[in-house]
């Protein structure tokens, strides 16, 4: 039987692209949704070339109507949505006292509102259709440790973790699983640029802070993400898996110190 489709927000770049590829390899048609056509087109070319069925959906996750249109397009093309990965994010390092209302709004809107928009849109359809489903929310370990320099993202990711647990409790009876995954530091283009670790010398310093002494690859994080969101672990819900080489146990690096050039040995 045909598998339902997997929607991956922010599926055109970085971790989202790695998750889309791994889901494709596991037999799921993927729907990649994000704002920029050029990100989606480049990813679709790559994935199609690897034999994966792909649909692109230009969509700002902050806009409820665009989210609805993306889910409609996924159902029209593939019949059914089986999986949702809320991976899209926005982030930048800023002193809390200098963060503007629009800066707060942008990051909260993408991370917290975007996750809610897609989750409710697919969740209510699964409930109405009597279909099971699975949602995976990509967060960060600072959702529970806190971190200096990214108060907007920390607050939004903490909200997503609370949302994950609450939806798992409320929708478990419908056969809908909801989990979260907290990756360690990955060198993806926009994250490294926006968070001040594009320089390989900074990456080397960061790696020294990780108990396993290296940063994460998108592939290894994607593999675990796919294990969690697919039916490999059908009794896991409301949980958050961490794949960060042990970094959070050491304490999350103060991101302000990176951009201020104060990171020492």
Binding-site ranges for ligand NDP (CB under 6 A): 9-10, 12-16, 34-36, 39, 59-62, 87-90, 110, 114, 138, 140, 183, 185-186, 188, 190-191
For ligand LOHRUJSQ, the closer CB: 29 or 183: 183
Strand runs labelled E in 59-175: 81-86, 133-138
Instruction: Compute the Cα dihedral for 169, 33, 113, 126 and give only its sign.
Output: negative
Report the alpha-carbon distance of residue 62 to residue 60 in Å, rounded: 5
Nearest-CB residue for ligand NDP: 14
Q: Which does 45 bind (CB under 5 to 8 A by kind): ligand LOHRUJSQ, ligand NDP, none?
A: none
Q: Which does 159 bind (CB under 5 to 8 A by kind): ligand NDP, ligand LOHRUJSQ, none?
A: none
Burial category of 103 from C-beta neighbours within 10 Å (exposed 0-12, middle 13-18, buried 19 and up): middle
Cross-sheet strand order for the sheet of 54-58? 54-58, 30-34, 5-9, 81-86, 133-138, 176-183, 240-243
**DSSP code for 215:** P
Among 5, 118, 258, 263, binds ligand LOHRUJSQ (CB under 6 A): 258
28 is catalytic: no
Site string for ligand LOHRUJSQ, 91-120 (x = CB under 6 A): xx-x-----x-xx--xx-------------
Bridge partners, residue 86, by sequence: 137
Q: Taking the complex as a whole, how short is the minimal distance between the CB of residue 32 and ligand LOHRUJSQ, in angstroms? A: 15
Of 28, 142, 197, 235, which is the active-site residue?
142
Q: Are 219 and 19 a contacting pair, CB within 8 Å?
A: no
For 252, the 3-state DSSP assignment is coil
Is residue 28 within the footprint of ligand LOHRUJSQ (CB under 6 A)?
A: no
Tell me phi and psi for residue 242, to 5 degrees: -110, 135
Is residue 253 within the footprint of ligand LOHRUJSQ (CB under 6 A)?
A: yes
Binding residues for ligand LOHRUJSQ, rule: CB under 6 A, are 89-92, 94, 100, 102-103, 106-107, 140, 153, 185, 190-191, 194-195, 197, 206, 253, 255, 258
Active-site residues, by number, are 142
């Amino acid at each position: 039987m045909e598998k339902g489709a997997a929607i991956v927000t922010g599926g055109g770049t970085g971790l989202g692209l790695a998750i889309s590829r791994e889901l494709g390899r596991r037999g799921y048609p993927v729907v990649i949704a994000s704002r920029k056509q050029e990100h989606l087109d480049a990813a679709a070319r790559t994935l199609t070339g690897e034999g994966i069925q792909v649909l692109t959906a230009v969509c700002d996750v902050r806009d409820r109507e665009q989210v609805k249109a993306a889910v409609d397009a996924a159902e029209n093309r593939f019949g059914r949505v089986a999986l949702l990965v809320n991976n899209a994010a926005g982030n930048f390092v800023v002193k809390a006292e200098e963060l503007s209302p629009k800066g707060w709004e942008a990051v909260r809107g993408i991370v917290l509102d975007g996750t809610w928009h897609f989750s409710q849109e697919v969740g209510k359809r699964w409930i109405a259709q009597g279909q099971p489903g699975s949602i995976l929310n990509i967060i960060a370990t600072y959702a529970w440790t806190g971190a200096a320099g990214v108060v907007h993202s920390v607050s939004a990711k903490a909200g997503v973790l609370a949302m994950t647990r609450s939806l798992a409790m409320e929708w478990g009876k419908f056969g809908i699983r909801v989990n979260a995954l907290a990756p360690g530091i990955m060198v993806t283009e926009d994250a490294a640029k926006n968070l001040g670790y594009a320089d390989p010398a900074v990456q080397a310093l960061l790696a020294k802070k990780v108990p396993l002494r290296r940063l994460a690859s998108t592939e290894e994080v994607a593999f675990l993400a796919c294990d969690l969101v697919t039916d490999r672990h059908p009794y896991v819900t409301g949980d958050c898996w961490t794949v960060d080489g042990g970094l959070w146990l050491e304490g999350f690096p103060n991101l302000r110190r990176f951009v201020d050039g104060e990171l020492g040995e």
